[in-house]
Structure 1
Amino acid sequence: MLSAITVSKETIAFRDSPEPILEPGHALVRVHNVTLCGTDLHIWEDDYPTELPLVQGHEFSGIVEALAPGNTRNGNGAVQDISIGDRVAVNPIVYCGGCRPCLTGRYNVCQNVGCLGCYSDGALTELISVPVEKLCPVPDDLPLDIAAMGEPASIAMQAVNRGRPESGETALVLGSGPIGLLATLYLTECGVTVICADTEQHRLDLAVGFGAAETLLVRPGSDFPDEQQAQRLDSMTDGYGPQLVIEATGVPSSLENAIRLVASAGRIVQVGISPRQANVSMKDIPYKELDLMGSRMSLNLIPDGLALLSRHPEQARALMTHRFAFADVQKAYRLMQGRTGKIGKIVVEMPAGSVA
């Protein structure tokens, strides 16, 4: 089979390798679609704490080609009903099961956490062997290319769940990239009024279709919110500020804004990731008695993410801005590297997917 291997910084080599051996409790999945995210770009740029060479790809879908006897329980311990020919997305998280976070049910932050395509070989290959418990059946009405986004949908839902949203509340989502947009979609389902902020107007225009009741354009180099935006925020929150803020940019100033703008007794969820340092107020957090939480990956929420995408196919399709054939995956990374605002989710069509 053919694999795309990131062999060194910004360099991919296509190599033939034997098909994986079917281990007990595993399934062989013929990969149809892989979607790319910012983490993939950082790995390709060799700016990520992992070792190259590596087969990337952690957001993917495909069809079960073979099954071995063994463990058929999913991440919640329920019996997994999987058959050959089933369409599936795959939970890429790898965890030890024995550390304190795992033993308390927080395996997404396992002390030894791994992820297919990030720390071990992933889905930019024709056939992959994964534990059956990692397979997530795709709803019948959901196309496989959209199903590849079950993983980022699960990340957005994890962040929202961490924020404990309540119907009737107002939330501010900082960043209208794919995670921010999917969080907006889910918050709206939860009965929350959502205000979205971003530096790109076209992303904010998209956010309206994901349920945003108000949008705020952040102008680099200018105060945020400006006087008019502050009035709009006040009018929508009775002058108190939003009860919940989802920070989905990873920009330090955005977290600073979240702490400044959130209501007293409010909650902030930091899902955007960055190695940079934020200048966080040591006064606002205790004075407002804020809940400041991080969110990473998800607790087996890919089935929920697939269901969310299935309920909103038009919005899901709107996230997908570019497609590349497997042979052109290097071009996909070059496009991402340009970091233009009009790139959403990039779909890599694997050989099996291109003829499906």
Structure 2
Amino acid sequence: MLSAVTVSQETIEFRDSPEPTLQSGHALVRVHNVTLCGTDLHIWEDDYPTDLPLIQGHEFSGIVEALTPGEVSNDDAAISIGDRVAVNPIICCGKCRPCRTGRYNVCHNVGCLGCYSDGALTELISVPLDKLCPVPDELPLDIAAMGEPASIAMQAVNRGRPEAGETALVLGSGPIGLLATLYLTELGVTVVCADTEQHRLDLAVEFGATDTLLVSPGSNFPDAHQGPRLDALTDGYGPQLVIEATGVPSSLENAIRLVASAGRIVQVGISPRQANVSMKDIPYKELDIMGSRMSLNLIPDGLALLARHPKQARALMTHRFAFADLEQAYRLMQGRKEKIGKILIEMPAGTTA
């Protein structure tokens, strides 16, 4: 079978490799679709704490091709040959304290297919049965590849303990911010979105945002016009919940400054950079500041969210590339010159399905 191997910085080699053998407790999945995220770009650029060479790809969907006889189910749903599935890529030890307390997404030895071990940019992959997530009948298989990012957004929202009638500020209207906006809106939360790109804010309105704030990099936020708008939406107290989905240090600083007293901030954007955090606002406001990483068994919920909102899900997927053109996809992400949402890589099986 053919695999795309990131062998060194910005270098991909397509290699013939043996097909995986079927193991007990696993299924063989024929990969049809892979979507890319910022982590994939960082790995390709060799700017991520993982070792190369590596077969990337952690957001994917496909069709079950083989199962060990008699092993036809995971913990949640029956799995059969021919089923359409998305895959939970998280690997955990099951023994450390976070795993024992049900927080395996922050396992001390957490792994992820396509990030720390070989992933889905290959034709056939062996996956533990309990990582398989059946795709709803009404959801196209290409859109199902986004079940993993949808689960990340839902994890961040759930961490923030939203309540219907509250106002939330979502900082960043990339895919995670948009999906968080969609989910918050379903929960009855009024959502205000802020971003540095107007086209992303236009999309945020389609995902349910009540109002949007365009931020100029390096300027005061909110400005003299935006501040009163935000005050009007929050009765002058500030949003009860802020989802920080950019990873930009100044954005977390803004979140702490703008959130209401007794409010909650969820940091889902990731960056190695340092934020200049106020040591006064956090105790004076008695804030809850929470991190959010990957998700806890939420890919089925993410698939259901996408299935309930087919128009928004389709709008999120802005580019498609054939498997052979994978490097072009990374170059597009790196250049940041086009309006990019999610990029889909159509695997050989997906183009013939």
Partner of residue 3, structure 1:
3
Number of residue pairs aligned between Structure 1 and Structure 2: 353
Taking only aligned residues, the RMSD between alpha carbons, in angstroms, comes to 1.0
Matched with 1:265 is: 262
Amino acid at match of 2:15: R
1:220 offset after TM fit, Å? 1.4
The equivalent of 2:26 in structure 1 is 26
Name the counterpart of 2:191: 194
Structure 2 counterpart of 1:131: 128
The answer to whether the Cα contact below 8 Å between 2:157 and 2:184 also exists between their aligned partners in 1 is yes
Cα distance in 1, alignment partners of residues 303 and 321 from structure 2: 22
Q: How many Å separate the matches in 2 of 1:95 and 1:273?
A: 20
Q: Could you tell me how far apart the structure 1 residues matched to 2:4 and 2:200 are?
A: 31
Amino acid at match of 2:158: N
Cα distance in structure 1, aligned partners of 2:69 and 2:256? 51
- Residues of 1 paired with 2:260 and 2:73: CA distance? 42
1:106 matched to 2:103? The reply is yes
Partner amino acid, structure 2, of 1:24: S
Unaligned runs of 5+ in 2: none
Give the CA deviation at 1:341: 5.8
- Per the alignment, residue 249 of structure 1 pairs with 246
Per the alignment, residue 50 of structure 1 pairs with 50
Q: 1:294 aligns with which of 291, 313, 318?
A: 291
| Structure 2 CA distance for partners of 1:279 and 1:269, relative to 1, 3 Å | same
Instruction: Supply the distance in 2 between the matched residues of 1:158 and 1:247 (Cα, whole angstroms).
Output: 13
Task: Report the 3-state secondary structure (helix = DSSP H, G, I; strand = E; otherwise coil) of the residue aligned with 2:94.
Answer: coil
Offset of 1:69 from its aligned partner? 4.8
The 1-side partners of 2:72 and 2:88 are apart by 14
Show the counterpart of 1:66.
66
Q: Is the 2:73–2:79 Cα contact (8 Å) retained in structure 1? A: no
Partner residue in 2 for 1:345? 342
Distance 1:261 1:71 in 2: 52
1:224 to 207, 221, 226: 221
Kindly indicate whether residue 331 of structure 2 is the aligned counterpart of residue 308 of structure 1. no
Which letter does structure 1 place at the counterpart of 2:16? D
SS in 2 for 1:181: helix
Alpha-carbon distance in 2 for matches of 1:189, 1:240: 23
- What is the distance in 1 between the residues matched to 2:246 and 2:174? 8
Amino acid at match of 1:86: D
TM-score normalised by length of structure 1: 0.98
How far has the Cα of 1:80 moved from its partner? 3.2
Distance 1:341 1:106, change over 3 A: farther
CA contact (8 A) 1:24 1:70 kept: no
Change (3 A) 1:285 1:55: same
Contact map agreement 2:332 2:338 (CA 8 A) in 1 = no
Q: Which residue is equivalent to 1:336?
A: 333
5+ long unaligned stretches in structure 1: none
On the 8 A contact 2:77/2:134 being kept in 1, the answer is no
Query: How has the CA–CA distance of structure 1 residues 71 and 244 changed in structure 2, closer, same or farther, with 3 Å as cutoff?
Result: farther
Q: Secondary structure at the match of 1:136?
A: strand
Report the TM-score, using the length of structure 2 for normalisation: 0.99
For 2:71 and 2:178, the matched residues in 1 are separated by 36
Match of 1:209 among 206, 221, 224: 206
Report the secondary structure of 1:158's partner residue: helix
Which residue does 1:324 correspond to in 2? 321
Per-residue deviation, 1:72? 6.2
Answer whether contact 2:72 2:80 (CA < 8 A) is retained: no
Q: 1:149 aligns with which of 146, 149, 167?
A: 146
Secondary structure of 1:227's counterpart equals coil
TM-superposed deviation, 1:71? 6.7
Relative distance call for 1:109 and 1:202 in structure 2 (3 A) is same
Asked whether the equivalents of residues 73 and 80 of structure 2 are also in contact (C-alpha less than 8 Å), the reply is no
Tell me the SS of whatever aligns to 1:42: helix
Pair 1:122 & 2:119 matched: yes
Secondary structure of 1:22's aligned partner: coil
Contact conserved, 2:193 with 2:204, CA < 8 A, in 1?
Answer: yes
Distance in structure 2 (CA, Å) of the matches to 1:145 and 1:63: 12
Q: Which moved more, 1:318-327 or 1:220-229?
A: 220-229
Report runs of 4+ in structure 1 exceeding 3 Å deviation: 69-74
